[in-house]
DNA sequence: CTGAAAGCGCTTACAG
DNA sequence: CTGAAAGCGCTTACAG
């Protein structure tokens, strides 16, 4: 069995209360006994039992994080940055990858709640489902017991805090630039109906309208599946004509690239392509992708800062929007 | 405050011992009182306090996982699969991304130990450093208190268990095939001196020797840095001539592809390239990469199965080797 | 089948 | 500055 506070007390010749005080850095201990206790602790390699402390404090200093899929680069980068920032505050986290189904997302949140984490971070607006009351009920319920932070999704609630990338303007800008550089038919490729995807679509449409171009329903194409499946779908859809593609995620842009290659179209001359997230992929493919940097790092770190403010009882903004940046590479000619 | 076992006891008209028994599924409770208690629990939405349970059991049913960098696709896929399998057993995990420095790896393991996780999984042989006694001392120490599982690294110890991909043979096969298909000068690109990288290099060298080709030190090139830096290094090294490249990781193969493009070399005709890990990248680039599938999924799930056996006191093999598979695509012509 | 009581390892008013 | 004692919410021999 590990050494306990009782062992240290006995060996130091003081009570357990005193040991506890030095462990917790209380000033109400004489220097002499503090030194003695510290020494004994070190000698015996004492570590306070975290379970007992948690029971006392009713907190494990642990944040629950959920994301749909940790092998998605965006989410992985988010978790990575959250972790770093969390450690700065001496917090740990439990991660639960939820998948994309409603039931499994609810299950993930429920389990994290049962673990009594101090707050919840949900990465990606997929946690909002369609945004219907029914789909977000579990979030409101979670928010009754602990603060809930959503990265890149928005839901209004007293105890829900959202940190968002400005997806609307990012896609507005991308689309606008394409048009201004002479493109007439811009295809919008998306892979989900999440809040974030909706924002992107709205930005795309606004740019079309502002440039007096029609919003053609056929040019908004939802694609789920692999890169190759996407290529094949585009190849089959001979009815579609387009000279530019904007996407909600880099993978879709890669699929468009595959399509261009299959059709022997030159990128960006015959077809310009814009990705989203500025992932590793963007630099690996050829030509390298112009892509929106969606500031994962900033969003993630900001979420942690706000959580800590929240835990400390400070007032925190319920919605924080961060601007992105269009990284120009070779798949566009603007 | 949340509802406790005392509340439920009072409301059910029984003692807390009985509540505890129904919570833990003890058979020593009459059907009638069980039903009653269950009902009261449900009505009051009772969840046992995990901290109190942990204190009793001296376990949180939680595994500590550490990896250098969760935004590395290999590690992310590993974590993802570990998690799924862990959940099947009702276990959770705490993740700590350690970075690549010795001190930070030791710190990560130490912190996880202090959290009293039930076992440790370390992803990647980078945790072994150079393999020197000094570099692995912290692992032996960790193994004194809990079982340590290493994915893709090998260290001999009573309480350390290793699940490995057969990197030696994978690179042997890749190199051998390149040679058999007519390649004379195979460049070996690696990015670390980890155990796993050493195995790969050994496989590469063995294949050369078995084919009576010289092992040329210049053709073993260590590269750290971005894909573009790699390309530039290769461009500068005009002294090197090679007609094939094998790598320890797909990113390096992508860099080689960039180099080929810059030199206007045709892949695979002028230069054949083999990646490693069969990551998302392999399918995104053009031509798509032949790559070794290093069985992350199998390794990860297997590690969990073995952990559970270990926790149950069963005897577990200290070294398990899984065979990989060479996925042929268009960057090679064999 | 059920309950009273001790114990898991800590923290923290309350006295002194 | 220090200690005795109660309490955090649970589990589990031990009696009955």
Q: Which residue of B has its CA nearest to A74?
A: B71
Q: Which residues of B touch A267 (CB under 8 A)?
A: none
pLDDT at A217: 96
Average pLDDT over residues B205-227: 97
Yes or no: domain B167-294 corresponds to CATH 3.30.465.10: no
With 80 as the cut, is the pLDDT of residue A1 above it? no
- Given pLDDT bands bounded at 50, 70 and 90, which one contains residue A181? very high
pLDDT at B130: 86
Nearest residue to A220 via CA among A243, A204, A235: A204
pLDDT in tens, A76-95: 999 999 999 999 999 999 99
Residue holding tokens 């130091």? A12
* Cα B332 to Cα B334: distance, rounded to the nearest angstrom: 6
The domain B62-163+296-322 is placed in CATH, from the list 3.40.50.10490, 3.40.50.2300, 3.30.1490.270, 3.40.50.1980, at 3.40.50.2300
* Cα B106 to Cα B135: distance, rounded to the nearest angstrom: 9
3 state SS of B278:
coil
CA-to-CA separations, B159 to A307, B82, B149, B196, B310, in angstroms, rounded:
39, 20, 9, 21, 10
- Given pLDDT bands bounded at 50, 70 and 90, which one contains residue A211? very high
pLDDT in tens, A108-135: 999 999 999 999 999 999 999 988 999 9
> Which residues of chain A form CATH 1.10.260.40?
5-54
Nucleotide at minimal C1' distance from the A16 CA: D3
**Size of the A and B interface in Cβ pairs below 8 Å:** 112
* Cα B274 to Cα B328: distance, rounded to the nearest angstrom: 9
3 state SS of B140:
helix
Yes or no, beta carbons of A76 and B77 under 8 Å apart: no
What letter would DSSP give residue B103? Answer: H
Tell me, yes or no, if A227 comes closer than 8 A to chain B by beta carbon: yes
pLDDT at A130: 85
Beta-carbon contacts of residue B259 (< 8 Å; ≥ 6 apart):
B230, B231, B234, B235, B265
Q: What is the CA radius of gyration of chain B?
A: 26
Yes or no, beta carbons of A92 and B79 under 8 Å apart: no
Report the footprint of strand C: residues with C-beta closer than 7 angstroms.
A 1-2, 4-6, 16-17, 19-21, 23-24, 47-49, 52-53, 55-57; B 13-18, 21, 27-30, 32-34, 52, 55-56, 58
Instruction: Report which residue is nearest nucleotide C5 when distances run from CA to C1'.
Output: B17
Yes or no, beta carbons of A54 and B54 under 8 Å apart: yes
> Which residues of chain A form CATH 3.40.50.2300?
62-163+296-322, 167-294
* % of chain A at pLDDT higher than 70: 100
Q: Which residue of B has its CA nearest to A114?
A: B47
Longest dimension (CA), chain A: 86
Yes or no, beta carbons of A93 and B97 under 8 Å apart: no
Q: Where are the beta strands (DSSP E) in B27-104?
A: 62-67, 92-97
pLDDT at B76: 97
The answer to whether the beta carbons of residues B42 and B247 sit under 8 Å apart is no
Beta-carbon contacts of residue A329 (< 8 Å; ≥ 6 apart):
A282, A283, A287, A288, A289, A290, A291
With 80 as the cut, is the pLDDT of residue B303 above it? yes
Tell me, yes or no, if B283 comes closer than 8 A to chain A by beta carbon: yes
The answer to whether the beta carbons of residues A316 and A309 sit under 8 Å apart is yes
CA distance B255 to chain A (A): 8
Residue holding tokens 């409603």? A102
Tell me, yes or no, if B47 comes closer than 8 A to chain A by beta carbon: yes
Tell me, yes or no, if B77 comes closer than 8 A to chain A by beta carbon: yes
* Cα B296 to Cα B76: distance, rounded to the nearest angstrom: 10
Which of B47, B74, B76, B79 should be substituted to probe chain A, the one whose Cβ sees the most A Cβ atoms within 10 Å? B76
Nearest residue to A267 via CA among A275, A32, B77: A275
pLDDT in tens, B105-136: 999 999 999 999 999 999 999 999 988 999 99
Neighbours of A180 (CB within 10 A): 11
Q: In chain B, positions 239-278, which contact chain A (CB-CB < 8 Å)?
A: 251, 254, 257-258, 261
pLDDT at A131: 87
- Given pLDDT bands bounded at 50, 70 and 90, which one contains residue A296? very high
pLDDT at B15: 94
With 80 as the cut, is the pLDDT of residue A252 above it? yes
Average pLDDT over residues A234-250: 97
Tell me, yes or no, if A76 comes closer than 8 A to chain B by beta carbon: yes
3 state SS of B139:
helix
Yes or no, beta carbons of B80 and A71 under 8 Å apart: yes
Average pLDDT over residues A317-323: 96
* Cα A176 to Cα A170: distance, rounded to the nearest angstrom: 10
Q: Tell the CATH topology of B5-54.
A: 434 Repressor (Amino-terminal Domain) (1.10.260)
- Given pLDDT bands bounded at 50, 70 and 90, which one contains residue A2? confident
Nucleotide at minimal C1' distance from the A51 CA: C9
The answer to whether the beta carbons of residues A236 and A294 sit under 8 Å apart is no
pLDDT at B131: 87
CB-facing half-sphere around the CA of B241: CA atoms within 13 A: 2
Protein-covered nucleotides on strand D (Cβ within 7 A) = 1-5, 7-13
Yes or no, beta carbons of B280 and A281 under 8 Å apart: yes
Q: Which of B92, B97, B116 sits opposite A115 (nearest CB)?
A: B92
Which of A1, A76, A262 should be substituted to probe chain B, the one whose Cβ sees the most B Cβ atoms within 10 Å? A76
CB-facing half-sphere around the CA of B304: CA atoms within 13 A: 25
- Determine the distance between A119 (CA) and C7 (C1') in angstroms: 31
* Cα A70 to Cα A67: distance, rounded to the nearest angstrom: 7
Residue B81 in tokens: 């699969």
With 70 as the cut, is the pLDDT of residue B1 above it? no
């Amino acid at each position: 069995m590990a050494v306990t506070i009782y062992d240290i007390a006995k060996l130091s010749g003081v009570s357990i209360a005193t040991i506890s005080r030095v462990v917790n850095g209380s000033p109400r201990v004489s220097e002499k006994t503090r030194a003695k206790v510290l020494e004994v602790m070190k000698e015996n390699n004492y570590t306070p039992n975290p379970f007992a402390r948690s029971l006392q404090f009713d907190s494990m200093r642990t944040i629950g994080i959920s994301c749909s899929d940790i092998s998605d680069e965006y989410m992985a980068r988010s978790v990575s940055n959250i972790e770093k920032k969390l450690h700065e505050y001496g917090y740990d986290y439990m991660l639960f990858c939820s998948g994309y189904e409603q039931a499994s997302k609810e299950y993930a949140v429920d389990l994290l709640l049962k673990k009594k984490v101090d707050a919840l971070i949900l990465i990606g607006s997929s946690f909002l489902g369609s945004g219907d009351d029914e789909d977000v009920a579990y979030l409101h319920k979670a928010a009754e017991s602990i603060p809930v932070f959503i990265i890149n999704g928005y839901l209004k609630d007293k105890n829900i805090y959202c940190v968002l990338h400005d997806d609307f303007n990012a896609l507005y800008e991308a689309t606008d630039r394409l048009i201004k550089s002479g493109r007439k038919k811009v295809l919008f490729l998306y892979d989900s109906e999440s809040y974030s995807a909706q924002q992107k679509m709205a930005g795309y449409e606004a740019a079309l309208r502002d440039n007096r171009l029609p919003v053609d329903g056929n040019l908004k194409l939802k694609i789920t599946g692999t890169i190759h499946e996407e290529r094949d779908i585009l190849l089959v859809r001979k009815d579609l004509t387009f000279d530019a593609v904007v996407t909600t995620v880099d993978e879709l842009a890669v699929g468009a690239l595959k399509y261009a290659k299959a059709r022997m179209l030159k990128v960006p001359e015959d077809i310009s392509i814009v990705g989203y997230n500025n992932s590793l992929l963007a630099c690996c493919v050829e030509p390298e992708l112009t892509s929106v940097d969606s500031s994962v790092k900033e969003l993630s770190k900001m979420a942690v800062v706000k959580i800590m403010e929240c835990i400390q009882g400070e007032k925190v903004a319920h919605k924080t929007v961060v601007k992105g940046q269009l990284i120009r590479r070779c798949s566009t000619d603007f």
